[in-house]
Amino acid sequence: MKIIAIAISFIVAIVCYSGAALAGSANFVFDARTGRVLASENADVLNHPASLTKMMTIYMTFEAIKRGKLTWDTKVPFSKYASSRPPTKLGVKAGGSITVRDAVYGMIVKSANDAAAAMAEKLAGSESAFAVAMTKRARQLGMNRTVFKNASGLPNSAQVTTARDMATLGVALIRDFPREYKMFSVESFVFNGKRIRGHNNLMYRYEGMDGIKTGYTNASGFNLVSAVRVGDRRVIGVVLGGRTAASRDRTMQALIDRAIGKAGRGDQMIAAAKPAPAEIEAPAPAAARRAAIAEVPVPAFAPRAADEGVEVAVAEVESDPVSVASVAPVPATRYGSAYVDPRSKGVAAIEAQVAPPAPNTLNAQAAAISSGWQIQIAAATSEKAAQSILQSAQSKVRALAGSRPFTQAVKSGGSTLYRARFVGFASEQEARKACDSLTQQSYQCLLMPGEG
């Protein structure tokens, strides 16, 4: 019941304040022939991929076909879970099935979340197991900062990527599957007797643009990965966190216009070390799959580019259960008047500008962490940076006055991350009130019970 309460609380917090802009503006353009970077802004800042996630689901589907595990006519069954995914979707009922071909076209053209979930279950038994395999494959491709939590890109705060990583995935699709990649240029397809049209409007009008994928959630903003080929020049562009679809497309067009003439000529894609495709492993026990949201740094969001636009509400939030690990203290702090916004400056800048607070006692640490409710707002690559984020949050939100700031060191992929938490709330209601106030200030917030 605690896990259910956590998930519901997180959904409520995000949906109630869906107007807060959480996405960061980022772009990256590079020459797919030489690997030369032609444009870059916040290329390594973490952002949410939204439906760009489906590029990896499709990549792994192509791999399964290449290995003979699937054919284009293999039937993909839809479970109750897959069919219940929120729009956009193909609308296949539970117990129904479609071909792999239709599933891939559904993901490319319609950006169908139900098709992505069904494909994940077909390949790995469950979507969560498939997400683990996706992240593993991402590392093999050189996507060093991306973490996948589902196959579709539906909202999950722990699902993150960068503009550079998405460009890497784009070039991998073209390089490794040149024939199958042509599917990304399709403007429409017929499904169940109806023609379904896509919405990659820039691709339809920009000469030489032959893919690849759009994406949008309220948390991500408007995302786009584009590939352009003009003569024997080939560039890949990524725009993340656009305020509107139109502004995102304008940004991409301007970037490509400036970059294409600088690209090298040739007929080869950039070389990359490509280990043998990882076989998708059988699902691990449920306890082993509970990767906490804080195992990955919460995005140090860059500011969105100024632009007007209307955002639609998030349809659904999917969040993994959180397990509470051993905790290192965040010392008691005295806050100065200066406020450093972690979303606009980034973790590195915060770390450089804010001095570490004075130490706390182990007894206070144990008492605070073992009683009451807790909330988590971020995870950083150093304890000092996590402390700074906590300082900034507490200086902005009065509802945090009765809580204690703590950091929590956890191992993740051979490195250490520091969770930024406030602990010791007397009740769930108080913790939720603090989460709501933090969300209004564009912080991410996860609610959880204490250990006591």
Beta-sheet strand order (sheet of 209-217): 37-41, 26-31, 233-242, 221-230, 209-217
Could you confirm whether 79 is annotated as catalytic? no
Distance CA(144)–CA(425), nearest Å, equals: 36
Q: Is 111 a catalytic residue?
A: yes
From the list 83, 111, 128, 403, the catalytic residue is 111
Q: Which residues of 297-310 are buried (b: 16+ CB within 10 A; e: fewer)?
A: bbbbbbebbeeeee
Which candidate, 300, 47, 301, 43, places its Cα nearest to that of 167?
Answer: 43
The end-to-end CA distance of the chain, in Å, is 16
* 446-449/233-242 β-pairing: unpaired
Determine whether 51 is an active site residue: yes
Of 18, 25, 54, 392, the active-site residue reads 54
CA distance 393 to 380: 14
Question: What is the spatial distance between Cα 87 and Cα 113, in angstroms, rounded to a whole number?
Answer: 7
Dihedral (CA of 256, 261, 267, 273) sign: negative
Reported residue count of the chain is 452
CB 373, CB 447: distance < 8 Å: yes
Catalytic pick from 51, 157, 319, 392? 51
Extract the tokens encoding 305.
Answer: 């580019």
Residues tagged active-site: 51, 54, 111
